[in-house]
Structures are given as structure tokens and as C-alpha cells.
């Protein structure tokens, strides 16, 4: 059983579908692992999960086994493989809290499209993972239910907002997970935990049933320990959804074929662009050294390395922290104590109940961003702040277009530093925001990006970010798989709860 948790999703699927092992055995092995290492918010351990759905997971796995037993073809290439789901996607049979007290215990009346696609594919959902409240944060310390710990060093953060999904992978609690990426919340945790995280093209994965943070930026995506596993999951969850008005009506890029092709280690004829504005001042020396090593490896694989300039990227952080809070202030107005979620009955008026509920239910980071956004959208300031930020967004998109005219993919370090100690930046919002310096431009432009492990710096994982044009995920996966073929996987030290 112990060996099962160390296998990739592709390897597990092969064993399950050939009936060498049962899906129930695989699910139980991962549930046992969660019990052994996850711990709780108040004790030692990883604390990647907010809800573990043991009974439902085993039932789902047994249905896969029963189907295979009568000779039915697997529902998908990942049928029977366990997965950890970020607690921001609605699930009819599990609580969905978005890491917030204001939704504590809420059970949605419907499944998100992504959840439904996972179920239809026969994927075993183990439970819901911890996250920064409403996906606002870079460390998972802003969760209302306690911080998640990085399996590489339990005193350090796993990144955020999807730290639970990334930590579950690194701790071998699940071979696959789902995250969301609004400004780096898939890629930054992947870099901090030595895993693979993919932010698809905006509109490439349905947002129906994804509790909104910033609607023009949010994007769900696959997380895994290998590039091929991420590609297999990408093809399961991707594709057009008529329930999502922003969903792209186009085929899912052929990412699995691209990952398999890339694993051959040949990048001849591909141009890899190094973004001049990413990787200078403020980047940890070990991170920069790891990135330089990755460039040498890509060159050895046959890629041509070219330098490109994206001059407006330096304004991305400022623009993002006007656009995102503005959308947050609008989206979170729905949590008003009138229909669902927390309700604090104080005062005789509806306004008093709303105010008391939002005061009790929202954490400090959420309140900070609501206030910032409300100010940016207020009369007399809209054009000066929100309007100007949207103009910067357009300039960043143009930078990407110009850069992709010179290169097939762009690369940079995923994050300026390695994982930092828990508590180190939680009281310094600007320092926390700077973690997303390299990832934010991709969200503003709506293009694709991913992080793959590129080694260690001071004993902690470092990520290589690979960026591609909209719907250009195939070439991105090809480059990632080729690079992955040049190094050994990063394996976190054994953790104990």
C-alpha cells in the first residue's frame, strides 16, 4: 500500500485499468496517508485538507472497479485515480467554504462543472483542500481554518492561495489536485512545493461553480507531480461549457500528446524567450542560479534561447492590485446574510445584520481588498485608478503579443524566492503581494502559464515558469516535459502528524 502513494497518476491508472490493483485499494492507501500526515489546524502535520470524504471516495472507487470487472472501458484515462479538490469549487455532497467563516458548513445545491467532469471521468475525489480565504493570499495563512504547512519544511508556507492542493501532492496525500490561479495561486504553490501547476488559457476550463474572487482573472487548472499527469487532468477538466459565458468554444489543446512528445527530450527548432524584466533585483540568488541552470538544459535539448523585452510587466503588480480588489468588492457583495452562509442577527434592520455578518465572517485580507476595491471604483476615482489599471492591462497583453512573435514560449523564475517561514510576511501585505511578481502578467493577459520544478535553493524547491500564448498549451507542455526529462523528481522529506 505504501508504494501506491509514490506512483504517478498515469502509473496508477495503468495498474487500476489492468486490474493489477483495485481503485478501492488505491483510494484507501491515500486516505490512510492523509490520516497519517495531515494532522489538524491546531497540531503538527501538513493540514492540506479541510474536509476528507472517505466514504464517498471509496464508493466512487468501488464503482470504477465494478465497471472494469464486467469489461466496460474506463470512463477516462484517469478513472479510479484519487484527486484533492480546492475548496472553492462547489460540491453537492461536501461542504464548500472557500476558506472563509462566512461559508462555514455550507453545502451547495449543485456541482461545479469542473466537479461534474471529474465525477463523469471516474476520478476519485478524496476531499476539499485548504486555501487562503476566497483565494486571496500567497501563503494559505489567510485561511479561516488554520495555515497549511509545506511538506519540505513544516515551519514554512506552501504558497497560496492553493497551498492545500500543492501540499497534498508533495506529501503524497494525492497524486492529482485542482487549484485556481487568479494571480499565481496554482503556479506559486507549485514552485514552493516542488510540484507541477498549470494555469490554462482564460476560458479554457469552466468557471461555473467556482466561487468568484476576480471574475476576469480567475482560472481553474490541474496540479500534479509530473507534467504528463497534469496534461491528463487538463484534458479531463478542459473544454467549452455553455454554463460559463467566458468559456472558449474551441477544442482542448492536445496537451497529452505534447507531453508525451516532449518526454523524448528534443526541442530542436523551438525558440525560448527569456523575459528581460523578470529575474533581476529582488530575486533570491539561489532562484536565479536555478533558472540559469534550466536555461542551459533547454539549450542542450536543442532550443534556441532569445531575450525578449516586456517593458510594461513592471506595472503589472500595481495594475493587478487595483483590478482584483475592484472585482472582489463587487463579487463579495453577494455574501449578505440574507440567503445562505453565516448570519449574525444584530440590530433590527437588514443593514445591521449584513454589517455584523460581514464583520464576523470575513478575515482581514478579504476586508482589506474589499476596501481597496470599493475606493478604486468610487465616484471621482474610477478613471484615475481602475480605468488606468485596465489600460496597463492592455499594454501588458501587447507586450506578450510582441514577445510571442519572437519566441514560441517565454520563461522566467516562477517566484522571486523559495518558501518563506510561516508568519514571516502575514503582517506585511506589500511583501506578501510581491510573491506574485512573475506570475501576475499571465493572468492580466489571459494567456497560459505553468510551473515545473527546477531544482533546490538552500534545500527548498524552485520553480521554472513557462508561458505560452492563448490556447498555446501544447507547446508549453512539450517544453515542460522535455525539461522534466533532464532531472530527477523532487521528493520532500518524510512528514509526520
Kindly report the CATH number assigned to the domain that includes residue 62: 3.90.1300.10
Distance, CA of 104 to CA of 144 (rounded, Å) = 9
Residue whose cell numbers read 489546524 = 41
Q: Average pLDDT of 295-324?
A: 97
* Bridge partners, residue 298, by sequence: none
Confidence band of 281 (pLDDT split at 50, 70, 90): confident
pLDDT class of 339 with cuts at 50, 70, 90? confident
As a whole number of angstroms, the distance between CA 372 and CA 324 comes to 9
Q: Which residues are catalytic?
A: 86, 161, 185
**Which of 30 and 497 is assigned the larger pLDDT?**
30
Q: Is residue 190 part of a domain?
A: yes
pLDDT of residue 14: 98
| Phi, psi (degrees; rounded to nearest 5) at 457 | -130, 120
Identify whether 41 is part of a domain.
yes
Output the pLDDT for position 306.
98
Q: How far, in whole angstroms, is CA 264 from its chain's centroid? A: 27
Q: Residue 378 domain-assigned?
A: no
| Mean per-residue pLDDT of the chain | 96
pLDDT tens digit sequence for 121-174:
999 999 999 999 999 999 999 999 999 999 999 999 999 999 999 999 999 999
What is the average pLDDT across 80-94?
Answer: 98
Predicted confidence (pLDDT) at residue 224 exceeds the cutoff of 80? yes
pLDDT of residue 348: 73
Q: Is residue 385 part of a domain?
A: no
Beta strands in 49-155 (DSSP E): 49-52, 82-86, 124-129
**Separation of alpha carbons 411 and 290, rounded Å:** 13
* Sheet (strand 49-52) strand order: 49-52, 124-129, 82-86, 176-180, 220-224, 196-199, 448-457, 460-468, 409-413, 271-275, 304-308
pLDDT one-digit tens code per residue, 458-471: 999 999 999 999 99
pTM (global) more than 0.95: yes
**Is residue 365 in some structural domain?**
no
Residue 373 in any domain: the answer is: no
Taking alpha carbons only, the member of 177, 203, 188 closest to residue 447 is 203
In a domain, 53, yes or no: yes
pLDDT tens profile 21-60: 999 999 999 999 999 999 977 778 999 999 999 999 999 9
Task: Tell me how far CA of residue 9 lies from CA of 1, 16, 180, in angstroms.
Answer: 15, 10, 20
**170-188 mean pLDDT:** 98
Residue 1 has pLDDT above 60, yes or no: no
Summarize the confidence of residues 294-313 as an average pLDDT: 97
Q: Is residue 303 part of a domain?
A: yes
Residue 426's domain spans which residues?
Answer: 2-311+398-484
* 244, pLDDT greater than 70: yes
Q: What is the pLDDT of residue 215?
A: 97
CA distance 60 to 63: 5
- In the chain, how many domains are there? 1
Of 489 and 307, more confident: 307
Indicate whether 405 pLDDT > 80.
Answer: yes
Report residue 2's pLDDT band, with 50, 70 and 90 as the boundaries: low
Kindly indicate the confidence band of residue 476, based on its pLDDT and cuts at 50, 70 and 90.
very high
Amino acid at each position: 500500500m505504501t508504494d501506491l502513494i509514490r506512483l504517478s497518476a498515469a502509473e496508477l491508472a495503468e495498474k487500476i485499468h489492468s486490474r493489477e490493483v483495485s481503485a478501492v485499494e488505491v483510494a484507501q492507501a491515500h486516505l490512510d496517508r492523509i490520516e497519517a500526515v495531515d494532522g489538524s489546524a491546531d497540531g503538527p502535520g501538513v493540514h492540506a485538507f479541510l474536509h476528507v470524504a472517505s466514504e464517498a471516495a471509496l464508493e466512487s472507487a468501488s464503482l470504477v472497479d465494478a465497471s472494469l470487472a464486467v469489461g466496460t472501458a474506463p470512463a477516462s484515462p484517469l478513472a479510479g485515480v484519487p484527486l484533492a479538490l480546492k475548496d472553492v469549487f462547489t460540491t453537492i455532497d461536501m461542504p464548500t467554504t472557500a476558506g472563509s467563516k462566512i461559508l462555514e458548513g455550507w453545502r451547495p445545491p449543485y456541482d461545479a462543472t469542473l466537479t461534474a467532469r471529474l465525477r463523469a471521468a471516474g476520478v476519485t475525489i478524496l476531499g476539499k483542500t485548504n486555501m487562503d480565504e476566497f483565494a486571496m493570499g500567497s501563503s494559505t495563512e489567510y485561511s479561516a481554518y488554520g495555515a497549511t504547512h509545506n511538506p519540505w519544511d513544516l515551519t514554512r508556507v506552501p504558497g497560496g492561495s492553493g497551498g492545500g492542493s500543492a501540499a497534498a501532492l508533495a506529501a503524497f496525500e494525492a497524486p492529482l489536485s485542482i487549484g485556481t490561479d487568479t494571480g499565481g495561486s496554482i503556479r506559486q504553490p507549485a514552485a514552493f512545493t516542488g510540484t507541477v501547476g498549470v494555469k490554462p488559457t482564460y476560458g479554457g476550463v469552466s468557471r461555473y461553480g467556482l466561487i468568484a474572487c476576480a471574475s476576469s482573472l480567475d482560472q481553474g487548472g490541474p496540479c500534479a507531480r509530473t507534467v504528463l499527469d497534469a496534461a491528463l487532468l487538463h484534458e479531463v477538466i478542459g473544454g467549452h461549457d455553455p454554463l460559463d459565458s467566458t468559456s472558449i468554444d474551441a477544442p482542448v489543446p492536445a496537451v497529452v500528446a505534447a507531453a508525451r512528445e516532449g518526454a523524448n527530450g528534443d526541442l530542436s527548432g523551438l525558440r525560448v524567450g527569456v523575459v528581460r524584466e523578470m529575474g533581476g533585483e529582488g530575486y533570491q540568488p539561489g532562484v536565479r542560479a536555478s533558472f540559469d541552470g534550466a536555461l542551459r538544459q533547454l539549450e542542450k535539448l536543442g532550443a534556441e534561447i532569445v531575450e525578449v523585452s516586456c517593458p510594461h510587466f513592471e506595472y503589472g503588480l500595481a495594475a493587478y492590485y487595483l483590478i482584483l480588489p475592484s472585482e472582489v468588492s463587487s463579487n463579495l457583495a453577494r455574501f449578505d446574510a440574507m440567503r445562505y452562509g453565516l448570519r449574525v442577527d444584530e440590530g433590527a434592520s437588514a443593514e445591521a445584520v449584513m454589517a455584523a455578518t460581514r464583520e464576523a465572517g470575513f478575515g482581514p485580507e478579504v476586508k482589506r481588498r474589499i476596501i481597496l476595491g470599493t475606493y478604486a471604483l468610487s465616484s471621482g476615482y474610477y478613471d484615475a485608478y481602475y480605468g488606468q489599471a485596465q489600460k496597463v492591462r492592455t499594454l501588458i497583453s501587447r507586450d506578450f503579443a510582441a514577445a510571442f512573435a519572437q519566441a514560441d514560449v517565454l520563461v522566467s523564475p516562477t517566484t522571486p524566492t523559495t518558501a518563506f517561514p510561516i508568519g514571516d510576511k502575514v503582517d506585511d501585505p506589500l511583501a506578501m503581494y510581491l510573491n506574485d511578481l512573475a506570475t501576475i502578467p499571465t493572468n492580466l493577459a489571459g494567456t497560459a502559464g505553468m510551473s515545473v520544478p527546477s531544482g533546490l535553493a538552500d534545500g527548498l524547491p524552485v520553480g521554472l515558469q513557462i508561458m505560452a500564448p492563448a490556447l498555446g498549451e501544447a507547446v508549453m507542455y512539450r517544453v515542460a516535459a522535455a525539461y522534466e526529462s533532464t532531472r530527477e523528481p523532487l521528493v520532500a522529506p518524510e512528514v509526520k502528524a
